[in-house]
């Protein structure tokens, strides 16, 4: 049996879908499973041992002609079943054009007609972690194809393997950048490409960097996207510490390898927080406008910091008032927690 899994498009979502992928493999141990995903994810999942092959999606588009061409390309592989972790109409159209006989996914955005097995989104979606949202798809596959219900019997595990070769390359990169490998490494994820409201603030990260450097003598490292270079410059300018800035200087697979060599990652609610926890690094995530119940990094090595205010979670990308959910989280509070985690 040949199964196509359309992977999630964002880093955090891709990590949160790992337990579902693991259960799919358990249900179909002899199947040839292909992960169809964004280019950045290929290097991340290469060492995960969850799939047999990885296909990279073309640049995203919404035109009929593009979906048709994509479907024709996939049709050549002769897949028997498609599992969609994406919610878009486009992704359902592609697997329909690929003439894949069995097509499972949530009936959202009017795409139910394109799926042979549309799944109704669960009523509890906003009340449980998103890990279970993806697991529910595989649970429905099991119920409909096998008539059993074993998917939800075990606690989900979000882990990604990083090979020793990649870790060795990461250590070499860090040393070349000026990291003292004899000291502990604390990395910051201070940006957020899709929401300014998620940002704790460059001045808070600068205060935290100063305290960590002065009192604990650790390496401070900045990771993130090139578009987040503004907050990196602000932190470096304000902090009384030597900071190594790799924001925008690494791709996602390299960032995963670097995170696996770090002792602690402190960040806003962002994809790298999920990646950090998944590779086994202690992770502190500062939440404000978003819902940590549904989208916090899943696992025992991730800790959430938030200050309860009446308007949170609002899910807004920009705060229309005083950003109190984030400004009321003090650098001292996060520093004490970081000391404990280290």
pLDDT in tens, 187-232: 999 998 788 999 999 999 999 999 999 999 999 999 998 888 889 9
Spell out the domains of the chain, with CATH numbers in brackets: 2-153 (3.40.50.2000), 165-341 (3.40.50.2000)
The pTM assigned to this predicted structure is: 0.94
Segment 120-139 mean pLDDT: 96
Mean local confidence (pLDDT), 250-272: 96
pLDDT given for residue 87 in this prediction? 94
pLDDT of 241 above 80: yes
Predicted confidence at residue 112, as pLDDT, reads 96
User: Two tokens at 96?
Assistant: 């329909």
pLDDT at 61 over 70: no
pLDDT reported for residue 62? 66
319 to 179, 201, 327: CA distances (angstroms)? 36, 13, 12
Q: What is the DSSP letter of 290?
A: S
How confident is the model over 274-330, as pLDDT tens digits? 999 999 999 999 999 999 999 999 989 999 999 999 999 999 999 999 999 999 999
**DSSP 8-state class, residue 246:** -
209 preceded by cis ω (within 30°)? no
Residue 60: its pLDDT value, please?
66
- H runs (alpha helix) in the chain: 11-16, 18-27, 39-45, 64-75, 89-97, 130-146, 164-177, 202-216, 229-238, 252-261, 271-278, 292-295, 324-327, 331-341
The percentage of residues in the chain with a pLDDT greater than 90, rounded to a whole number, is: 87
Strand 2-6, strand 302-305: pairing: unpaired
Burial readout 193-202 (b: 16 or more C-beta within 10 A, e: otherwise)? eebebbbbbb
User: How many alpha carbons fall within 13 Å on the CB side of residue 33?
Assistant: 23
């Amino acid at each position: 049996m040949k199964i196509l899994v359309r992977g999630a498009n964002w880093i955090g979502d891709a990590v949160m879908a790992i337990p579902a992928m693991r259960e799919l493999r358990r249900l179909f141990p002899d199947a040839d499973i292909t992960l169809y995903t964004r280019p950045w994810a290929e290097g991340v999942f290469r060492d995960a041992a969850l799939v047999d092959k990885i296909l990279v999606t073309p640049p995203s588009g919404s035109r009929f002609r593009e979906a048709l061409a994509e479907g024709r390309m996939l049709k050549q592989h002769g897949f028997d079943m498609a599992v969609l972790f994406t919610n878009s109409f486009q992704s359902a159209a592609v697997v329909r054009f690929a003439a894949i006989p069995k097509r499972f996914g949530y009936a959202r955005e009017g795409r139910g007609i394109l799926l042979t097995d549309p799944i109704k989104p669960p009523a509890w979606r906003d009340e449980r972690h998103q890990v279970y949202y993806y697991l529910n798809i595989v649970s429905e596959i099991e119920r409909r194809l096998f008539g059993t219900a074993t998917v939800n019997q075990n606690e989900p595990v979000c882990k990604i393997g990083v090979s020793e070769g990649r870790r060795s390359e990461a250590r070499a990169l860090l040393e070349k950048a000026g990291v003292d490998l004899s000291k502990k490494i604390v990395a910051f994820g201070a940006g957020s490409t899709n929401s300014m409201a998620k940002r704790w603030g460059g001045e808070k990260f600068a205060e935290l960097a100063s305290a960590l450097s002065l009192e604990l003598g650790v390496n401070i490292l900045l990771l993130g996207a090139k578009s987040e270079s503004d907050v990196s410059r602000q932190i470096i300018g304000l902090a009384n510490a030597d900071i190594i800035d790799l924001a925008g200087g690494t791709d996602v697979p390299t960032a995963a390898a670097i995170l696996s060599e770090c002792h602690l990652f402190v960040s806003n609610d962002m994809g790298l927080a999920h990646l950090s926890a998944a590779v086994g690094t202690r992770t502190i995530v500062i939440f404000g406008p978003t819902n940590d119940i549904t989208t916090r990094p899943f696992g025992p090595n991730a800790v959430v910091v938030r200050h309860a205010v009446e308007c949170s979670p609002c899910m807004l990308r920009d705060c229309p008032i005083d950003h109190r959910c984030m400004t009321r989280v003090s650098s001292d509070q996060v520093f004490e927690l970081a000391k404990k985690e280290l």
